[in-house]
Amino acid sequence: MAESILIVTEDPELLDDLLRLCAAAGAEAEVSHGPGESGDPPGERAWRSAGLVLVGADRAAALGEGAPPVPRRPGVLLVSRDLDDHRVWERAVRLGAEHVVFLPDGEGWLTGRIADAAEGVGRAALTVGVVGGRGGAGASTLACALALTAARRGVRSMLIDGDPLGGGLDVLLGGESAEGLRWPAFAESRGRVGARALEEALPAMHELRVLSWDRGDSLAVPPEAMRTVLGAARRRGGVVVVDLPRQLDEAVAEALVQLDIGLLVVPAELRAVAAARRVCSRLAMLLPDIRVVVRGPFTAGINADDTARLVGLPLVGELPPERRLAEAVDRGVPPGGAVDGPLARFCSGFWRQALSDDGRPGSVAA
């Protein structure tokens, strides 16, 4: 639900600046210039209910030291245009402001903060990246199954295809003809994309939103677009699953720094272990939390614990092979669609640890 922005100032130049920033962020603003006849704080009801309160330095002293002062609440920012006003910090403390913002230097940050409040942004999505330890490890299959399983739990879920050479996750989900935007539509994205607008623009497949590739010749995501789009997806909350290639380029690097957890899918074989160690050495430069999912079948003499130990990462669990998975996908059953299959059971177990009982992101034990 969109939230209003309350502006409290009598400085006409500052008011013009703040109204301009609210308009740029797509936010509705309510302006309160001063106390009412009763002497109550200005716009008391709006003060308590607004998604964000922007207090001009000219009004900060009166609000923070009034009789009585305005109630303390989160989401109050003190805004000033005077870098030399050292009293602004004392006023911010008395007011209970979270931040002091100086314009024009802080315009970019403040616009983003206003947009967050206008969108009703809460806790960021738990963002999980899936990477294959070697080619054909099954990372895309696991990414699809994780997103689908989270959606089946009633969690807002988004699946992002970060591998332009992977063939398209919409195809794997049987939704290549689904209406909605694909990556090329976002290639020029810069600055900020609205979280709600992104979600509504993407194709809906199996109760989740999917950002995949079209069938055109576009083979790259500019790093700025990856940063912008993934940031918007995370602000929407719930769960975001990103399928990533093994090659580390600038766009992949932008995705890695926004991940909470990385899952490295490693078949239980020595050659895969050797390849996975090389992949891990590159990922670890940008993503501190990487864990191993060991995929069967298991060869003689090497099990899941051995595989994780040889790769040098904590083990999430074993992923047994699922019989006739390819045939099921050809029939329109997506990976993880068979609720009683080993893939769905693995994903359900992962989310039980990763999500709290109310479906919001929680802690995940390594």
Structural domains counted in the chain = 2
Give tens-digit pLDDT for 232-264: 899 888 999 999 999 889 999 999 999 999 999
Beta bridge partners of 244: 131
Same domain, 98 and 138: no
* Number of CB atoms found within 10 A of residue 135's CB: 10
DSSP, collapsed to helix, strand or coil, labels residue 198 as helix
Same domain, 265 and 141: yes
Q: pLDDT exceeding 90 applies to what percent of the chain?
A: 54
Same domain, 135 and 79: no
| Domain that residue 318 falls in | 126-357
Asked whether the predicted pLDDT for residue 104 surpasses 90, the reply is: yes
Same domain, 308 and 229: yes
Q: What pLDDT was estimated at residue 123? A: 77
Same domain, 179 and 106: no
Q: Is residue 222 part of a domain?
A: yes
Higher pLDDT pick, 190 / 90: 90
pTM, two decimal places: 0.74
Same domain, 42 and 159: no
CA distance 7 to 55: 6
Closest CA to 197 of 9, 12, 16, 26: 26
Q: Is residue 12 part of a domain?
A: yes
Q: Where are the alpha helices (DSSP H) in 25-106?
A: 44-49, 57-64, 87-95
**Residue whose structure tokens are 């398209």:** 168
Tell me the residue type at 292: V
Asked whether the predicted pLDDT for residue 308 surpasses 60, the reply is: yes
Q: Is residue 362 part of a domain?
A: no
Q: What pLDDT was estimated at residue 24? A: 84
Q: What pLDDT was estimated at residue 121? A: 63
Q: Is residue 247 part of a domain?
A: yes
For residue 168, the number of C-alpha atoms closer than 13 Å in the C-beta half-sphere is 19
* Number of CB atoms found within 10 A of residue 105's CB: 10
The domain that holds 66 is classified in CATH as 3.40.50.2300
Asked whether the predicted pLDDT for residue 37 surpasses 70, the reply is: no
Asked whether the predicted pLDDT for residue 14 surpasses 70, the reply is: yes
Same domain, 95 and 130: no
Q: Is residue 58 part of a domain?
A: yes
CA distance 224 to 232: 12
Range scoring the smallest mean pLDDT among 19-28, 33-42, 114-123? 33-42
DSSP state letters, 70-117: PPP-SSEEEEES-TT-THHHHHHHHHT-SEEEETTTTHHHHHHHHHHH
**125 with 36: CB under 8 angstroms?**
no
- With cut-offs at 50, 70 and 90, classify the pLDDT of residue 52: very high
Q: What pLDDT was estimated at residue 105? A: 93
CB proximity list for 176: less than 8 A, separation 6 or greater: 168, 170, 215
Same domain, 203 and 288: yes
With residue 224 as reference, give the H or E element that holds it.
Answer: helix 223-235
**198 with 232: CB under 8 angstroms?**
yes
Q: Is residue 366 part of a domain?
A: no
Same domain, 112 and 249: no
Give tens-digit pLDDT for 176-225: 889 999 998 988 776 677 788 889 899 999 989 999 988 777 677 889 99
Last residue in a domain, options 119, 146, 179: 119
Q: What pLDDT was estimated at residue 122? A: 66
The domain that holds 193 is classified in CATH as 3.40.50.300
Rg of the chain, C-alpha, whole Å: 24
Asked whether the predicted pLDDT for residue 108 surpasses 90, the reply is: no
Bridge-based pairing of strands 76-80 and 52-56 is parallel
CB proximity list for 113: less than 8 A, separation 6 or greater: 52, 77
Q: Is residue 253 part of a domain?
A: yes
Asked whether the predicted pLDDT for residue 336 surpasses 50, the reply is: yes
CA distance 67 to 156: 45
Q: pLDDT exceeding 70 applies to what percent of the chain?
A: 90
**The token pair that represents 133 in the structure block:** 């330890």
Last residue in a domain, options 65, 90, 119: 119
CA distance 46 to 31: 10
Q: Is residue 67 part of a domain?
A: yes
List of E strands, the chain: 5-8, 29-32, 52-56, 76-80, 99-102, 126-132, 157-161, 204-205, 208-211, 239-244, 261-267, 290-295, 315-319
CA distance 193 to 152: 27
Same domain, 234 and 262: yes
- With cut-offs at 50, 70 and 90, classify the pLDDT of residue 34: low
CB proximity list for 125: less than 8 A, separation 6 or greater: 156, 158, 233, 234, 235, 236, 237, 238, 239, 240, 361
CA distance 32 to 18: 13
- With cut-offs at 50, 70 and 90, classify the pLDDT of residue 39: very low
Taking all residues of the chain, what is their mean pLDDT, rounded to a whole number? 87
Range scoring the smallest mean pLDDT among 242-246, 329-333, 355-359? 355-359
- With cut-offs at 50, 70 and 90, classify the pLDDT of residue 15: very high
Last residue in a domain, options 85, 119, 153: 119
- With cut-offs at 50, 70 and 90, classify the pLDDT of residue 154: very high
Q: What pLDDT was estimated at residue 366? A: 37
Same domain, 109 and 185: no
Q: What pLDDT was estimated at residue 107? A: 92
Same domain, 224 and 133: yes
Q: What pLDDT was estimated at residue 33? A: 67
Give tens-digit pLDDT for 277-299: 999 999 999 999 999 999 988 77
* Number of CB atoms found within 10 A of residue 288's CB: 10
